[in-house]
Amino acid sequence: MTKYSNEFKINVIGEYLAGIGSTSLHQKYHIPGQHAVLNWVH
């Protein structure tokens, strides 16, 4: 499992809250596992 810095996660969460979908962010940043972004948000 890849570890991401808190700063990176906060940036991704900010984009998610701005309206970019989790799937788009998963693809944009090559984050393994489609649910990782949603796990960070929740």
pLDDT at residue 22 greater than cutoff 70: yes
Give yes or no for a contact between 15 and 23, defined as CB atoms under 8 angstroms apart: no
CA distance 34 to 24: 10
> What is the predicted pLDDT for the residue at 1?
59
- Mean pLDDT across 29-38: 91
pTM summary value: 0.86
Q: CB atoms < 10 A from the CB of 18, how many?
A: 7
Give yes or no for a contact between 25 and 35, defined as CB atoms under 8 angstroms apart: no
Q: How far apart are the first and last CA of the chain?
A: 19
